Amino acid sequence: MSVLNKKWHIKNTDASASLLEKLLANRNLRDHRSIKTFLEPSIKDLYNPFLMSDMRKAVNRIKQAIKDEERIIIYGDYDVDGITGTTIAVRVLRHLKAKVSYRLPHRTEDGYGLNEKFIHEFKKLGVKLLITVDCGISCAKEISLAKSFGIDTIIADHHTVPENTPKDSYAILHPKCEGSLYPFKDLTGAGVALKLAYALLSDEKDETKIDKFAEDFLDLASLGTIADLGLLTDENRIIVKYGMEKMKHSKWDGLKYLKHYSGIKQEDVIDTQMVGFRLAPRINAAGRVAHPYYALRLLLEDGEDKGQTDALAQKLEGFNSNRQSITEKALRQAEEIFLKDNKKKILIAHSTEWHSGIIGLIAGKLTDKHHLPSIVMNETAGVLVASCRSPGFFNIVAAISEFGHLLEHFGGHAAAAGFTIKKENLKKFTKAMEDYADKKIKKADYENILEIDAEINADEITSETLKTINKFEPFGIGNPTPVLLIKNIKTQNVSVIGKNKDHLKFRSLLSGKSTSALKQIDTIGFRFGPFAKDILKSESLDIVFNLQNNTFNGRTQLQMNVVDLKIN
């Protein structure tokens, strides 16, 4: 076993294959067409938005509303996917001179999805068209109420389609709806909003001709796709690749300020790590500890008031610092609960002290650490709000839907879901979920296995190898950063670094066949500091790592980023 108590599994041991061939095979890319599409994604390969069911009907209704000067409301979700999707919808409708405004629910006060209080407000405001973004597919009751008030509803969503779909909606834009012919099923909410924008900006006489303005929304759609852990394959891969390129010179002032406060410099090459761990948490923080309007307002800023744009970006920075602090404390408390009973196959806990805005973060961290599904709940006045996360082997929304009769509301998808439940039903629900998980999850599912793409030798740790790896960018869900293994490595200059001395740094001494000289590669291991003393006593190491470039003081050189170690 490794220092992280993981079993290592090498996916490809074909000695006759090159690293490129191994990486392609590991991603099930074997024929020329699929390989070319993957390695050379083109913006021209985005699918025709009118392939999505109801798209033409939705576009015609929106254009009629614009012509008749009807009031349109965009109703989004409070996470990054919902906020960026809402930004796209609002901006494209403003561009088309629509009478458009927007609403976002408060995570704690309103909960996920449409809320009847908003429907009543829309009636008073004389709204005639409601467009939901990243929500709505599980809101049949609220949409029926809207229809009774003479409000048409267009749903733009990607979450799991329930049995009781909203029959009273005017149109449903959803790649997974029954009978949908849309070629790619895994768009996120922002992705669906992007397709709507493309459709609205298409030429009425030739729908394949689309206003170039539509491409300005790619950075927002890529932000939502990465943050919502969308599969980075097929159309999502195109959205993210070109979206991150757009992000470097974004048209949107709010995004420019957000990049600045996230420490992203103009000369930086933006990647999925920067988006997922710097930009996205700052946007999410508004909805977690305050109100998502702060983030939406920032992304809708047009640069007319630089002081206000800067103030909003600073607000998000403050929210994010607060979020980090309260998450750290709550995570420790949750860990203590689970350590008391670590034989369960699903982790379930609740507290009145945990802010409802961070329970998703706690659930995600617990699932990542223990490789088990987790449900974390905030309790207020006899009602619990839950956030659920799950590894790939367990469909969490299918699990909670089995016991939907015990819940007030629920929704989500295979890897992430949410629900509300009355406290009087909690004990019964908890027992039912534990029994369900016990039957469904086998030990082999949650064994701590580390998947390794290939084993390489010292001669292969070169800039050319890194160029091969970088052909597979952007990395993310469905296309992880290639993980490599090298064995029997000697080390020198072993040290611990970081404020808390919890990170590890050393030089790997590589002895190849092509030269007698030792090649020295800087090696960094985040959170591997506690193993420094053992490494100093070791004869050699087997290292699982990602190969990357590190630039410091204007000098760029290869670096091995440790994923796991075995000490020999």
42-93, pLDDT tens digit by residue? 999 999 999 999 999 999 999 999 999 999 999 999 999 999 999 999 999 9
For position 517, what pLDDT does the model report?
62
Largest interatomic CA distance in the chain: 81
Which domains, and CATH codes, for the chain?
A: 7-37+449-567 (2.40.50.460), 46-243 (3.90.1640.30), 252-323 (no CATH), 341-446 (3.10.310.30)
Q: Residue 66 in 3-state DSSP?
A: helix
For position 513, what pLDDT does the model report?
73
DSSP H/E element including 72: strand 71-75
Ranges of the chain whose pLDDT falls below 50: none
For position 515, what pLDDT does the model report?
58
The number of residues in the chain equals 568
Pairing of strands 519-525, 127-133: unpaired
Residue 13: other Cβ atoms inside 10 A: 9
Q: Please give the sequence-ordered ranges of beta strands (E in DSSP) within 298-437, or none if there are none.
A: 347-351, 374-380, 383-389, 409-412, 416-422
End-to-end CA distance of the chain: 11
For position 514, what pLDDT does the model report?
65
Structure token pair of residue 2: 């490794």
Its pTM surpasses 0.85: yes
For position 204, what pLDDT does the model report?
76
Query: With 0-12 CB in 10 A as exposed, 13-18 as middle and 19+ as buried, what is 351?
Result: middle
Backbone angles phi, psi at 383, to 5 degrees: -125, 135
For position 71, what pLDDT does the model report?
98
Alpha carbons 334 and 340: distance in angstroms, whole number: 10
Tell me the sheet residues that pair with 544.
Answer: 485, 564
Tell me the sheet residues that pair with 552.
Answer: 555
Q: Show Cβ contacts of residue 121 under 8 Å, excluding neighbours closer than 6 positions.
A: 103
Structure token pair of residue 243: 């979206």
Q: What is the DSSP string of 173-230?
A: E-TTSTT---S-----HHHHHHHHHHHHTB-SS-TT-B-GGGGGGHHHHHHHHHHTT-
